[in-house]
Amino acid sequence: MAEDKYKIQKIDAYRWRIPREGKMRVDGIIYADEHMLEEIQKDESLQQVINVAHLPGIIGHSLAMPDIHWGYGFPIGGVAAFDMDAGVVSPGGVGYDINCGVRLLRTGLYRVEIVHKLEAVVNTLFANIPSGVGSHRKDLKLSRQDEKNVLKNGARWAVSQGYGTKEDLEHIEEKGCIPGADPELVSDRALERGKTQLGTLGSGNHFVEVGYVSEIYDDKIAQALGLEKDGVTIVVHTGSRGLGYQVCDDFIKVMINASHKYNIELPDRQLCCAPINSPQGKEYIAAMACAANYAFANRQMITHWVRESFERALLVSPKESQIHPVYDVCHNIAKIEEHIVDGEKKKLCVHRKGATRSFPPNHPETPDAYKSVGQPVLIPGDMGRCSYVLVGTEKAYSDTFGSTCHGAGRVMSRNQAMKTAKGRNIAQELKEKGILVRADSRATLDEELPEAYKDVTEVVDIVENAGISKKVAQLKPLCVIKG
C-alpha cells in the first residue's frame, strides 16, 4: 500500500506526517482528509514532498496543500521556507509560470442584470483579451525600455499608462510590485518573448470568468470585501507568459551549475538551487521579481480591458459597472518574509508553488483595507463548478508560514483529459448547465474539462477545517473565456 511506502502518520483529521528519515532534514506535512490522501497518492507528489525536505536550510516542515499534484521539482501545492543564511532558493520551488496568480474583481451589477446578456459579455471579452498559445496584442508593442520599466514597476507601470487607477494598487499583493527587480538580469530571449504578450491570457488553465456570489458564509467579512449575494464578480487567472517561462528556463541552467559549485546534494536534479546569499541566488531572486512584476502588470491591463468589455457589451458607464479589485494574489513565488521560528522573528525565503499567502488580520503585510478581517485568499475551481473567497488566519501564519491552497488541483493529465473528452462537446455540456464558454481551441476545453480537477469544495473544506483559511463566499460561473 502506498501509505506504507511513505510511512504516513495521522496527526489529526486534516494533517498527515511523513517522518524524517535518511537525509531528510525535516518532516513532510500533508493537509488532506482520508479521501483526499488516497487521491494524492495516485501520483509521485508525496515523493516530491520528501525530496524538498532534503534541501539545505529548510525550516519547519516540507508542506503540501490538499490541491497537491506532481510538478517540476517541487510538487504543485508545495510550500517550503528556508533560512536566509543556510538556505537555498530553487526555480523548481516557484515554477515556470512565475507569479501565475488570481485577481478577483467585484462589480456594482447583479446577476439578474446580465444573465440575458451573457452572449454579448463573453464574446466581447473574447474579442478584447487575446488568449491561446503565443497570443499577443496587435495594438500594444513595448519598446525595450518600456518593457524594462514594466519589469521594474509591475502594476504601477500599467496604472501610469492609464490602465486603471492608483486605488487598484492598494488591492494587490505587494501593491503590484515586488522590490529588488533587476531587468538587466533578464535575457534578451525572455524580453523578446514578453514584448508582445502583455495584456494576454495565454493558454492552458488560464481564464477570465464572469460569475456571481452564490453563497455567503460570513456576512461581516463579505461586507468588508465588498461582496454581496448575487453580485456579479470577475476572476482573472494568468501569469507572466513566455517571459516568466524563459526566466525560469534560463536560471535552471544556472542553478544546475550552482548546485555542483556549492556541493549541494540533490535527491532530484529538478531541485537545482543555490544558496540564497550567493551571486546566483541573488540574481535569480532579482530576475524572478521582474517576471512577477510582469504578471502583476499583465493582470492589471486585463482588468482595464474587462472594464471596457463590460461597458461595451452591457452599454453601461464605469459609474454603473463599478468594477474594482477585491484582491490579487501570487501562486508561484519565492518571497522574503518575517516569520516566528522557535519564538523569535526571523527572515525566511518562503517558496509557494501552487500555493497562496494566507496572512491574518493585523499582519503588517495584510492590506490596510482588510486589516480587521485578514488578507483575501482566492481559490478558483474548474469552469463547471464554483470558486471560493476566503481570508487568512493566525493559524496559517503560525503553522504554514502564512500559506494555503491555490485551487482545485488537477487529477488528470492533459492527455487523460483529452481521452476522457473524446466524442463529447464540453462547450455544449457547460451551456446546458447555464455556463457559456469561449476558447482559443476545442483542445483547450477538452484538456480543462471539469473532471480533470479535484472538487474545489472538498479542497477548501480541508483548509478551513484545518484552520489555515476561513471561508467567506462561494462564486458560481456564468461565462468563461479560456486560454
Active site residues: 406
The three-state secondary structure class of 339 is strand
Whole-number Å distance between alpha carbons of 260 and 278? 13
Which residues pair with residue 102 across a beta bridge? 237, 329
Whole-number Å distance between alpha carbons of 303 and 144? 24
User: What is 429-449 written as a DSSP string?
Assistant: HHHHTT-EEEES-HHHHHHT-
Cell of 326: 477585491
Residue among 34, 103, 37 nearest 68 (CA):
37
Is the distance from CB of 181 to CB of 286 less than 8 angstroms? yes
Is the distance from CB of 104 to CB of 376 less than 8 angstroms? yes
DSSP state of 359: P
Is the distance from CB of 235 to CB of 102 less than 8 angstroms? yes
The three-state secondary structure class of 362 is coil
The residue to which cell 496572512 is assigned:
359
Main-chain dihedrals φ then ψ at residue 409, nearest 5 degrees: 85, 135
Main-chain dihedrals φ then ψ at residue 28, nearest 5 degrees: -95, 140
Work out the end-to-end distance of the chain between its first and last CA atoms, rounded to an integer number of angstroms. Answer: 39
Question: What does the chain come to in residues?
Answer: 483
